[in-house]
Structure 1
Amino acid sequence: MSTVANLRSYNPSLKKFFDKLPRFTYGKSQLKNPAACQQVLDKLNLKGQYNSSNLDIIDATPGFGLFSAMLNHELKPKNHILLDRNDETVRSWHKKIQTLQNSTGNQENFKIIDRDPFSWETYSNLYKKGILPPTKFQSFDKIHDELLIVANWTGTKDESTIAQWIGCCSYRNWLMKYGKVRMVLFVPSSTAMKFLSEPGFKKRNRTALKRDLYTDSRLIAIGEESEIIGEGYDPRVLVRDQPVVIDKSSFIRNSAAAVVEISPGRYTGDVIANIEHLLSGIFVTSSSLRESLPKLAAGAEYLCNYIPDEVLNKKAIEFTTEDIITIANAYEDWPFKPSIEETFDIGEEDFK
């Protein structure tokens, strides 16, 4: 810790809290190394992109909190709301905030809220109960410069939450209704490998397709998990994003994770809403689309008349965003498409 004074984003007022590690981490991978946090912040390069005088940060499951504290010191937000239900975490943050109150007057503007960060209602109540002032809508043409979301979803059961938050980008609801709101997420390495993969990569799945279609995203950092740096990731993503590599020893649990940046992209959920109910059936098989169509719906092979051979001969993991839009447009033009209820019946019978 002797070099922390040289780190731009380190808050010396909180040093005593980060010199000692917590007794429990409750299943989360958390950074304990200030230098690693600084690397992540440098890669994110957030400072010039936010209006600090009006910036609200919503920070879910901050835990140990070193990254949260350094992010705060970097951006100096108007409000930094910490959401956590873990008793030890809440107590620890109350002590941190009291220390700041005595030393800086809590000019960091931290507030710890003992509410469930998994619950949608928790976020709406921040506004309903006046904890946060109303967030103004900004155009989706640029990153919203007055709201930032941070979350640690590295638990074993957190992947579905990450997928749901990506879904909010598609329908531009929840906090995404305010504009192109950036999310900085700590996620399991295995989740990052899948969700950020590109067309044709063996780990690409339905959520990766949606992430590709509905969001702008970057792989910010990866944990060093083996002698081969980046093993398991799509090489194209590594080359494109050049993520920071974090030494395994920098994590409290000695269990590496990844940091990803996600915000709403060009398309909304409407673009493939008509085939949303078919995606599970499309991705459950390793066959080409041409071979899969008869199993998706009665008479669906008729769609071969509307879809180019190039797309028909692809497997689901190979679909690009343009391909899936082509399929959605073809389905819309199909004069005899079944009802959604009829499609579900067929799918359940064929894919048991």
Structure 2
Amino acid sequence: MSLAVKSLGELSKIKHYYGFRYLLNAAVHEQIFDKLKLATVYPEPNKLKILDLYPGPSQHSAILYNRCKPAQHVLMDARPDFVKHISQFITENSQHAQGFQLVTLDPYDWHSYTELIDRNKVMVPSHKGREAIHNEFLVVANLTGMIGEGLFMQWLACIGNCNWLQRFGRVKILVWVPESTALKLLAKPGDHLRSKCSVVTEAFTETKLVAVMKNKTETSFNSSLLEKHRPVMFESKDVWMPSGKPISLLEIDPRDHKVDLDNFDYVTKHLLILKSTPLYDALESLGHGGKEYFCSVIGDDRLLQKCPKDLTVSEFIYCTEIFDKWPFKPDIYLDFIDVFQDND
């Protein structure tokens, strides 16, 4: 038997949505899961564990549970109206909800994960090697509220550092974010939105645009991005609350990277502060004498004439490798700036 899937009409009766927005059209969720083909990544449902962060009205949670039939599906939410709703939903579906459970912890707090996994052992994911995406652990989340973008940037840092939930392996994350955040993260070299968060996203993850909300101009994503990702399109009437910023769904697959994180952080941060300045001038921001040193080593005038916003990830890594070999490079730990926090 499957969990009951409630409609937008029923779920809109929940009094508070706490500034978050949720897709509440079951047919569109089915299209999304058809597109994701999760069964190919998680072929053994009896071993699969799903951690569902900020599930709110939990329509997507019920549909995901019905599709995957995981061994364990933990919903983490501490917002009172949603806690009441989810608790009642689990009670109503108690005969069909084996492994479907709520923990009233706040996904924003780092100690929530320590309490869930290490202290109380409510969910203990298996450890996997980094040669492939973890095939027994999936994270889904909704970060469409005010805290969402900042929290996602912290999660992105964890992907790069292989800590937090990424200590268990390369754990896929399906995450709903504001459209504006998705546009930043997916910006390519040369785009006006290109910044350190898009460089870091590209360096440490393979990120796909899975679903987007139509607006008056269809969508804010450019045609080449839409052609590449072919996302599921849904209407604004399918989303509750009825007002607010458009939302998008991203599929985040961590890469097995070999990037020198400390030097990469320093180089990308400093160069992208001057993202519209030709590289041969921007290099001086890396330290006194940087321009002279880098220009003598690089010797490629085409690269030196590029602006940092036009550089590919490979070119940033190339600059990082040169920086690491610089005999007179500055002490990067005396100039700590968090590369994962966007300041555009």
Partner of 1:324: 316
Amino acid paired to 1:127: I
2:130 paired with 1:140: yes
Partner of 2:69: 76
Select between 51-60 and 31-40 the one with higher mean Cα deviation: 31-40
Amino acid paired to 1:324: F
How many corresponding residue pairs? Answer: 330
Alpha-carbon shift at residue 296 of structure 1 (Å): 3.2
Partner of 1:298: 288
Alpha-carbon shift at residue 81 of structure 1 (Å): 0.7
**Local SS of the residue matching 2:250:** strand
Aligned-partner Cα distance in 1 for 2:196–2:61: 31
TM-score, structure 2 as length reference: 0.90
Partner of 1:273: 262
Q: Is the 8 A contact 2:15 2:81 kept in 1?
A: no
Aligned-partner Cα distance in 1 for 2:130–2:33: 24
Q: Is the 8 A contact 1:222 1:246 kept in 2?
A: yes
- Which of residues 201, 205, 208 in structure 2 aligns to 1:215? 205
Partner of 1:192: 182
Aligned-partner Cα distance in 2 for 1:321–1:293: 16
Alpha-carbon shift at residue 36 of structure 1 (Å): 1.6
- The verdict on how the C-alpha distance between 1:304 and 1:235 changes in structure 2, with shifts beyond 3 A counting, is farther
Task: Output the aligned Cα RMSD.
Answer: 2.2
- Which of residues 9, 14, 18 in structure 2 aligns to 1:26? 18
**Local SS of the residue matching 1:19:** helix
Question: Structure 2: 5+ residue runs without aligned partners?
Answer: 338-342
Aligned-partner Cα distance in 2 for 1:234–1:305: 38
Aligned-partner Cα distance in 2 for 1:110–1:342: 47
2:239 paired with 1:251: yes
2:338 paired with 1:338: no
Alignment of 1:165-176 (within 5 A): 165-176=155-166
Alpha-carbon shift at residue 148 of structure 1 (Å): 0.3
Aligned-partner Cα distance in 1 for 2:273–2:168: 35
Partner of 1:348: none
User: Once superposed, which parts of structure 1, at least 4 consecutive aligned residues long, lie more than 6 Å away?
Assistant: none
- The verdict on how the C-alpha distance between 1:96 and 1:340 changes in structure 2, with shifts beyond 3 A counting, is same
Aligned-partner Cα distance in 2 for 1:146–1:87: 30
Partner of 1:162: 152
Question: Structure 1: 5+ residue runs without aligned partners?
Answer: 1-9, 346-350
**Local SS of the residue matching 2:241:** coil
Select between 37-46 and 92-101 the one with higher mean Cα deviation: 37-46
Partner of 2:340: none
Partner of 1:202: 192
2:264 paired with 1:287: no
**Local SS of the residue matching 1:306:** helix
Partner of 1:261: 251
